[in-house]
Amino acid sequence: MTKPLQDKVVMVTGASSGIGAATIAALLDVGARVIAVARRIDRLQALQKELGVGDDRVLPVKCDIRDEQQAQTLMNQALEWGGSLDGLINNAGLSRGGLLEKTQVDDLRVMLDTNIFALANLTRLATPELKKAQGTLINISSSVVHALIPGSAVYSASKAAVAAFSEVMRKELCASNARVVTIYPGMVDTEFFDGITDEKKKQSFDKLKESIDALQAEDIAEVILFALSQPGRVSLNEIVVRPTRQPI
């Protein structure tokens, strides 16, 4: 039986670790071809070597997607390599700071630039190809949108913006039979928390991860794969995935 993702071309951002790296492994396992995007090219190359695949199956691309020119160059490279684009997984995202009054302005800017501007701009560039391929756009938001927590004002706002952006894009793309899926992960045990600059906040997250048996990156990768593998008539528009023991 033909695999639904066999030889499909899928771009994954934030691909050097965590959910992105796990998603690449899952996609390759079902025969997809993957454009792996991150700022750490050494990590991408190490992942490619670890997975034992050649340049015909994975294209590692060093790119800071916040930079408009780099994003355009990335899309040009992707289309030259893959010939089309069947899926875009907007996974790159980060959190910085804590309580708003104690958060540095640079941390505010990097959250908004990464979590919403870069995602929206890359989607803008990918949209004509996704329409042609009747492909799938998957945006990674966060369950924090459904349980707003003090100390995460700008991060929560950026992820709520992702949710609103996704719903508008669903309406813009549905006539072309392209799908839009928003995934809202709860707590996942990845490097994501290493970038939190508020040490007290980071320590509280570390304790929480242990106490609730946090999700693994592979769990979210399987959800992404499930959404991508549905028949073309089926669009799983919103998926919330939390650890069973996460109360909020």
How far apart CA 152 and CA 168 sit, in angstroms, is: 24
Closest CA to 122 of 145, 95, 154, 93: 93
pLDDT in tens, 91-139: 999 988 888 998 899 999 999 999 999 999 999 999 999 999 999 999 9
User: What are the CA-CA distances from residue 216 to residues 11, 21, 95, 179, 236 (Å)?
Assistant: 21, 12, 18, 26, 21
Annotated catalytic sites, by residue?
155
Question: Residue ranges of the domains in the chain?
Answer: 9-239
Please give the class, per CATH, of domain 9-239. alpha beta
Residue 237 near residue 182, CB atoms below 8 Å: yes
**In the prediction, which pLDDT does 150 show?**
85
Residue 9 near residue 87, CB atoms below 8 Å: yes
Closest CA to 34 of 57, 55, 14: 57
How far apart CA 206 and CA 180 sit, in angstroms, is: 32
Sign (positive or negative) of CA dihedral 90, 166, 141, 185: negative
pLDDT surpasses 80 at 196: no
pLDDT in tens, 1-59: 458 999 999 999 999 999 999 999 999 999 999 999 999 999 999 999 999 999 999 99
